[in-house]
Structure 1
Amino acid sequence: MQQGAGAQEVSDAVGGGGWRLLLGTLRTLVPVGSAARAVEVLAAAAAVCGDEADRRLHADVRPGAVLLALVPPAGAGVGTAEVELARRISAVLHGAGAAGEPRSVQLLEIGVDALDAAAVRPFWKAVLGYADAPGADGPSDPLVDPAGRGPAVWFQRMELPRPQRNRLHLDVTVPHDEAQRRVGAALAAGGRLVSAARAPAWWVLADPEGNEVCVSTWQGRDG
């Protein structure tokens, strides 16, 4: 496996260890019983990463769980280095009586439909206090929370005005093996399937009043 390996190859390589591929990162959620235990889990993961921890390891530490994310260098895809780190972290955590849960991670993005993304993007950047994603400052490129807390915001170009529907929609990126269950649950809760033309990359759903959300996975995006 090489850096920037195919998504299916990466997913197969880490799936058994509780990690999932989401938006170009590997993520796992490790349940813990206390804040002290959460800190121990993070310290163990950082020790595995060594000098790469500051660049490759992102974490959200809470009293009940630790979310770990392995991030490739800017402009690179997930590959050998991240897969190997994920395996080593899993082995250390398993040995210490902790393990990641495979189906408890997701990422939320907000999509803004715009006739002129270059004109509206600076407003959203300013009002949210967001920044350009690393290496991405074009009109359609995402804005990100510098603190790593809020969802990314990206911009989708429209050809014509669309006053008949909302122009903000949510993108919920879930593990590939959870998407069908999530879509089914949303439909059972009163939602409507707008389009599955690009599934399994994404399904477009709408609530009873027509507000849209995309349930997304990494599948169907290679090539």
Structure 2
Amino acid sequence: MDTITTKEFRAFPGVEDWRPRATGALAVFRTGSFATGAQLFGAIAELADAAGHHPDVDVRYATVRVRLVTHSAGGLTAKDAAMASRISEAARELDIPAETERMQELMLAISTPDPDTLLPFWKAVTGFDEVAEGTLLDADGRGPLIWFQPVDRPLRGKSHLDVNAPRDVIEQRLEAALAAGGMIADDSHAPKWWTLADADGHKVDLCPWRGPA
């Protein structure tokens, strides 16, 4: 099955609760209790078995986090969009709201002039799989991502955290971080990303989710 772009995914009806990106389409549902979360999981399991297409589901006390991706195609497909719509419909029937402001992924960015040399070491010590060129992820879909950032020369700080989330979430985090004593270390790439620093100079990149059109 052919993959689709994030823009094509968003064009499908009924996927407003979902945020697509390279590692799949994500949704978070605010269940409020473990029992309600179990109900939603049961509904998702029935839909997944009927379609022969199974998402990653993380059930917590008050939330259910779902990630859809077609592993055999190496990305998002129309099957993911169709399943996303059905899952959102099941959540509405159970009166469970989506909570898009809680979506995020952490990524450890390793800056290096030679990613091909470093990646095998990190793959070996973590046991992660290479899910895209220069990007490692736990085979079970748990984070953080490890991304090897190509640079022309070694940086003074060779690794830093990336916080990836929808743009509205990132903008809220940016405002909150500055109010909490952080500072903008580099905004030359904004609005693609902002580099912030704490009072001791430790850096974090705030990166809005984006993908191919």
- CA distance in 2 between counterparts of 1:92 and 1:159 reads 49
1:151 deviation in Å? Answer: 0.6
- CA distance in 1 between counterparts of 2:177 and 2:108 reads 18
- CA distance in 2 between counterparts of 1:204 and 1:217 reads 12
Cα distance 1:182–1:71, how it changes in 2: closer, same or farther (>3 A)? Answer: same
What is the DSSP-based 3-state SS (H/G/I as helix, E as strand, rest coil) of the residue aligned with 1:200? coil
- Contact preservation (8 Å) 2:56, 2:141: no
1:61 maps to which of 59, 65, 83? 59
Q: Percent identity?
A: 32
What is the DSSP-based 3-state SS (H/G/I as helix, E as strand, rest coil) of the residue aligned with 2:52? helix
1:190 deviation in Å? Answer: 1.7
Q: Where in structure 2 are the equivalents of 1:15-30 lying within 5 Å? A: 17-30=16-29
Cα distance 1:75–1:148, how it changes in 2: closer, same or farther (>3 A)? Answer: same
1:45 deviation in Å? Answer: 1.7
- CA distance in 2 between counterparts of 1:145 and 1:80 reads 24
Q: Where in structure 2 are the equivalents of 1:103-122 lying within 5 Å? A: 103-122=101-120
What is the DSSP-based 3-state SS (H/G/I as helix, E as strand, rest coil) of the residue aligned with 1:53? coil
Q: CA RMSD in A?
A: 2.6
Q: For residue 195 of structure 2, what is the aligned residue in structure 1?
A: 204
2:145 maps to which of 140, 152, 172? 152
Q: For residue 81 of structure 2, what is the aligned residue in structure 1?
A: 83
2:182 maps to which of 191, 212, 216? 191
Query: Which structure 2 segments of 5+ residues have no match?
Result: none
What is the DSSP-based 3-state SS (H/G/I as helix, E as strand, rest coil) of the residue aligned with 1:94? helix
- CA distance in 2 between counterparts of 1:177 and 1:86 reads 21
- CA distance in 2 between counterparts of 1:46 and 1:203 reads 39
TM-score normalised by length of structure 1: 0.80
Deviations 1:49-77 (A, max 9, x none): 333333xx111111221101111445555
What is the DSSP-based 3-state SS (H/G/I as helix, E as strand, rest coil) of the residue aligned with 1:177? helix
1:209 deviation in Å? Answer: 2.5
What is the DSSP-based 3-state SS (H/G/I as helix, E as strand, rest coil) of the residue aligned with 1:182? helix
Cα distance 1:191–1:90, how it changes in 2: closer, same or farther (>3 A)? Answer: same
- Contact preservation (8 Å) 2:14, 2:88: no
Query: Which structure 1 segments of 5+ residues have no match?
Result: none
Q: For residue 52 of structure 2, what is the aligned residue in structure 1?
A: 52
Deviations 1:190-214 (A, max 9, x none): 2222333333332222222222211
- Contact preservation (8 Å) 2:112, 2:153: no
- CA distance in 2 between counterparts of 1:79 and 1:177 reads 25
- CA distance in 1 between counterparts of 2:20 and 2:128 reads 24
Residue identity opposite 2:187 in structure 1: A
Residue identity opposite 1:198 in structure 2: H
Cα distance 1:217–1:11, how it changes in 2: closer, same or farther (>3 A)? Answer: farther
